[in-house]
Structure 1
Amino acid sequence: MPMVTVSISPLQAAGIRDAVDQGGYASSSEVVREALRLWDTARKLGEYRGEVPADESAPSGGRCVADMFADHEAEHRRSA
């Protein structure tokens, strides 16, 4: 798998560590991959940065990926 180096804020790093420490993810890489999958899905649906979806029946609202990831995390915790 290709390696990519990114810079994140201390708050983001703490959130990633917390997700792993709580047992929701096996590693920080798993958290980041999940976030990127959500971002890619949002981008394809046109939800990223408030873009209008090509298919008007698709969910929209211009929610940021961080909000979507937080919702996903909450759902993940409820189903665990």
Structure 2
Amino acid sequence: MPDIQKISVAVTGDQLSAMRDAVATGDYATTSEIVREAVRDWQLKRAQRQDELARLRQAWNEGKESGGRALFDVEEVLVRAQARRVGAE
């Protein structure tokens, strides 16, 4: 069995009411169960964000290492986009 420890968590009245309603309707056995599920969801989302950041860092580094940098002229891109739009009309 996991090591269970108690902490104090402050929630709004609306949050507490929603939690108590979920317990009263049988969706959850206790409010603690709701909090544990919320923490598990947070842990999962945090791990996913960390994985995504790692992928982005890797892509960034690969892009930097690939060389081939060229100046990007925003005005030229806008002129070409405008020309395509006018040509399509």
**Aligned structure 1 segments of 4 or more residues deviating by more than 6 angstroms:** none
- In structure 2, which of residues 18, 22, 30 is the aligned counterpart of residue 19 of structure 1? 22
Identity of aligned residues (%): 37
Higher helix share: 2
What letter is aligned with 2:41? L
Deviation of 1:52 after TM superposition, in Å, equals 7.9
* RMSD of aligned residue pairs (Cα, Å): 1.9
- Separation in structure 1 between the aligned mates of residue 27 and residue 55 of structure 2, nearest angstrom: 33
Question: Structure 2: 5+ residue runs without aligned partners?
Answer: 57-89
- Separation in structure 2 between the aligned mates of residue 52 and residue 9 of structure 1, nearest angstrom: 32
Question: Structure 1: 5+ residue runs without aligned partners?
Answer: 57-80
- Which residue pairs with 1:32 in the alignment? 35
- Separation in structure 2 between the aligned mates of residue 33 and residue 52 of structure 1, nearest angstrom: 23
Instruction: Report the TM-score when normalising by structure 1.
Output: 0.58
